[in-house]
Amino acid sequence: MGKTAFLQRGPLVDVSSTRFRVSRHAFVDREVLEAEYAEIFDRCWLYVGHTSEIPKAGDFITRTVSRRSVLFVRDKRGEVRAFLNTCPHRGAQVCRARSGNAKSFQCFYHGWVFGPDGRLRSQSDEESYASGFNDQGAGNLVPVPRLASYRDFWFVSFNPDVENLEDYLAGAKDYIDVICDQSSEGMEIVEGCQEYSIRANWKLLTENSIDGYHASTTHATYFDYMKNSVGSLASVSLEGKAFDLGNGHSVLEYSAPWGRPVAQWIPAWGEEGREEIDSIYARLKERLGEERAERIARKNRNLFIFPNLVINDIMAVTVRTFFPHEPDYMQVNGWALAPRDESASARKYRLFNFLEFLGPGGFATPDDVEALEQCQRGYASVHEAPWNDISKGMTKEQPAYDDELQMRAFWRHWHESVRTLVEE
């Protein structure tokens, strides 16, 4: 990194009153990736898990967050904790299981044992250590610097000086509230996880997740399917708006004709399904009022929380994260979110929808993966064709669902975060 690299690469974002361009070097340069880890992933709030995934004392999951193995656990007092999953003795991962319930965690290398509260409980050959060896806690698991939650979504940060989580979420909180208000009993992650990789830069998936412009072309097969399955539609119309929520977050909010078990009925669910959906909507209306019930039930949301959390509240609710391993390679994880009190039949509709569109083998995800990997291949000509254009809707007072305001919100915040390392 440094001035020489900058002169070779040039500016990464170029903005005028009518044009917004992003350098394709942002998608291929390793120096950019390392700057992203230093200035974004190692400094921002990052999603680690949901309260419902560790409901009982001793429940745990392990996840990789910003290249670190993290142990997300509920201790015997019911407190949610997150530790770096590395033994303070020699560094081995203490917990090798992906999830489960445990009264303690034993490092397989030398046998040190830790409680779910992270405290060192015992050491093999303990008599060989000085009296009071752990009086200052040096033998305990190391907690992540910051851990906080909003509406049961838990975030970690490796930056001890990171701003308060609620301030960081800014306008995204209102949309998380809309999603979580689907149930008076709270929301839960459905057991199971979608895991796959994409041979493309992680920022391409950021753009794709909040891009209404590509839907009708990239996903034409799905829309043809919709025309035949949702009441003889002549066309499939998506209408709505995009909003910049601050701090790099953004959202698309729009109407669509597909079924939503929260409560938008389609003929494929039959008359019995109609009765249940009508009942769900009536309860929403009674609890929250007609205006909010209508918004929850009839509107879809593609919510992006900077830098790498997407909550798709569409025909089902998908929670998705993605981390880059290389400039042209990322790992993706997705979970289904659902009301705790959902009936078996509504859950059946939800999980079908979860797999049908956004599943790794669904209508949308294979199309999107192909599109992103095609973009990455196109960046081989970065020196001759150096720019992506993200100007659509730039001169409108209120950009529409299929404009690019939301991507510009991401790129401005991204650029402000990394520019000192990659352009100076």
CA dihedral 246, 170, 150, 291 (to 10 degrees): -100
Q: Per-residue b/e over 168-199, b at no fewer than 16 CB within 10 Å?
A: bbbebbebbebbbbbbeeebbbbeeebebebe
pLDDT reported for residue 7: 37
Residues linked to residue 320 through DSSP beta bridges, in sequence order: 310, 334
Report, as ranges of residue numbers, the positions in the chain whose pLDDT lies below 50.
1-7, 232
Rounded Cα distance between 248 and 217, Å, is 27
Starting at the edge strand found earlier in the chain, the sheet holding 20-23 runs 13-15, 20-23, 387-389
pLDDT reported for residue 9: 67
Query: Beta strand pairing status for 153-157 and 146-150?
Result: antiparallel
pLDDT reported for residue 5: 40
What is the pTM for the complete model shown?
A: 0.94
CA dihedral 307, 312, 318, 324 (to 10 degrees): -30
| Domains delineated in the chain | 46-166 (2.102.10.10), 181-422 (3.90.380.10)
Q: Give, as one character, the DSSP assignment of residue 39.
A: I
pLDDT reported for residue 235: 58
pLDDT reported for residue 324: 98
Rounded Cα distance between 52 and 65, Å, is 19
Task: Answer yes or no: are the C-beta atoms of 302 and 314 closer than 8 Å.
Answer: yes
pLDDT reported for residue 424: 66
Rounded Cα distance between 109 and 360, Å, is 36
Tokens 């917990």 belong to residue: 95
Alpha-carbon dihedral sign for residues 226, 230, 232, 233: negative
pLDDT reported for residue 312: 96
Task: Answer yes or no: are the C-beta atoms of 42 and 53 closer than 8 Å.
Answer: no
pLDDT reported for residue 286: 96
Rounded Cα distance between 93 and 109, Å, is 9
Tokens 């997150």 belong to residue: 82
pLDDT digits (tens, 9 = 90+) for 228-272: 766 545 556 678 899 999 999 999 999 988 889 998 888 888 898
pLDDT digits (tens, 9 = 90+) for 380-412: 999 999 999 999 999 998 888 899 999 999 999
